Amino acid sequence: MARSSYLFTSESVSEGHPDKVCDRISDTVVDAYLAAMPEARVACETLTTTNKVVIAGEVRGPEHITADYVSHLARMAIKDIGYEQDGFHWANCDIDVLLHAQSAHIAQGVDSSDGKEEGAGDQGIMFGYACDETEELMPAPIDFSHKILKAMADARKSGESNLLGPDSKSQVTVRYENGKPVGVTQIVVSTQHLDEKLTSHDIRSIVEPYVHQALPAGWIGKDCIWHVNPTGAFVIGGPDGDAGLTGRKIIVDTYGGAAPHGGGAFSGKDPTKVDRSAAYAARYLAKNVVAAGLAKRCTIQLSYAIGVAKPLSIYADLHGTGQVDEAKLEAVLMEAVDLSPRGIRTRLELNRPIYARTAAYGHFGRTPEADGGFSWERTDLADTLKSAF
């Protein structure tokens, strides 16, 4: 029997975290190629350390996207994040661009030709999840962890708070009663700061309003335990303090550990890679199942083989909260949405430069945008699912 009363914790990291700097640069490269050629292929990895950025991977796209241009894009991304410190500065960090042409052997398995439908860019399993814990239909711990850091970043960039640096982390422990989130028991915030004389108490006075802004009223009781910059000074941050790599924060990117993850990272990959596009599709299906009132919680798994168009399997788990038969739901979902790589990209309009904005504060639980950004967060399938049952 599932537990109904428990504590659950999730973490988030800001756009200035070393790994997130890498995700942002890699997704900026993806956007550049898709803006120039919607059918471009990109698999871009980034490494950062003290005043050094290395961008490597495989691409297929227009030749006018040169190494110098990619280097410029990386600098602009770093500048937007806010790095102008001695050990990592957008204007003078050393950038190596090592992108090369996509493997012909990979391309032949993925491309459509001679009546062969376009296949998946790789094998793998992808998961999507939704629940009714928040308005965004996301698990509460990860949703609130993201919101804390987003509020702090907005304050930093607007000039409202000029003592905070770009690198920060948050962690929220949520108390559940009868399966519902009702409050928080512990809050962790570690943030880079620009004045080395500031104490942990000083930093708490700065960040506490943003924590209260992010959490529901009444959720922070007098017994809640706070850990703000618990190790003390945090002046050296970002890639100068710790090396970063693309794709190392996949749990932060998804559901904070509240749902399974297939293992593949998202950032730096064009949408022919089902690691990314099918994970978005699985979230789209799960969110619409919950939005339609068919369940309070829903996990969807999809699986693919490289070069094969149709998913090998679909699995739906309603965690005992469903109003419908799960086997029938699987059949309805397969009928309602073309889950081939081409079908996903067409339905969710993924061949657009919409990915740099996904690189921090989660790929899920965001608001769909007018230009197609976060299209997988739409609930336009809910009425179809209702009518099917």
Q: Which tens digits make up the pLDDT trace of 208-233?
A: 999 999 999 999 999 999 999 998 88
User: The domain at 18-110 falls in which architecture?
Assistant: 2-Layer Sandwich (3.30)
pLDDT of residue 118: 81
Domain 124-132+245-388 = CATH 3.30.300.10: yes
E-assigned strand segments in the chain: 6-13, 41-49, 52-60, 84-85, 88-89, 94-101, 124-131, 164-177, 180-193, 220-228, 244-245, 297-304, 313-317
Please indicate if the annotation marks 222 as binding a ligand. no
**Of residues 36, 243, 382, 388, which has the active-site annotation?**
243
Strand partners, 7: 175
Whether 105 is catalytic is no
Q: How would residue 176 be classed by pLDDT, with cut points 50, 70 and 90?
A: very high
Please indicate if the annotation marks 102 as binding a ligand. yes
Is it the case that residue 192 has pLDDT exceeding 70? yes
**Of residues 17, 24, 193, 283, which has the active-site annotation?**
17
pLDDT of residue 116: 54
DSSP state of 240: G
pLDDT of residue 105: 57
CATH 3.30.300.10 domain residues, the chain: 6-15+142-243, 18-110, 124-132+245-388
Whether 19 is catalytic is yes
Supply the angle between the helices 274-291 and 341-348 in degrees, to the nearest 10.
60
CATH number for the domain whose boundaries are 6-15+142-243: 3.30.300.10
Give dist(CA 60, CA 171) in Å, integer.
Answer: 39
**Of residues 146, 156, 269, 276, which has the active-site annotation?**
269
Please indicate if the annotation marks 17 as binding a ligand. yes
Q: Which residue has the tokens 């003290």?
A: 50
Q: How do residues 352-361 score in pLDDT, each as one tens digit?
A: 999 999 999 9
Nearest 10 degrees: Cα torsion 161, 166, 167, 173: 50
pLDDT of residue 249: 97
Cα separations in angstroms, 359 against 162, 247, 300? 23, 10, 23
Q: Is the dihedral of CA 158, 161, 162, 168 positive or negative?
A: negative
Contacts of 217 by beta carbon, 8 Å cutoff, 6+ apart = none
Please indicate if the annotation marks 169 as binding a ligand. yes
Contacts of 218 by beta carbon, 8 Å cutoff, 6+ apart = 183
Please indicate if the annotation marks 167 as binding a ligand. yes
Whether 100 is catalytic is no
| Other Cβ atoms within 10 Å of 91 Cβ, number | 9
The arithmetic mean of pLDDT across residues 99-106, rounded, is: 76
**Of residues 35, 36, 58, 261, which has the active-site annotation?**
58
Is it the case that residue 122 has pLDDT exceeding 90? no
Whether 243 is catalytic is yes
Whether 242 is catalytic is yes
Strand partners, 299: 129, 317
Query: What average pLDDT is seen over the chain?
Result: 94
* Neighbour-count burial for 8-25, b at 16+ CB within 10 Å, e otherwise: bbbbbbbbbbbbbbbbbb
How is 293-307 classified by DSSP, letter by letter? TS-SEEEEEEEE-BT
Strand partners, 97: 55
pLDDT of residue 233: 85
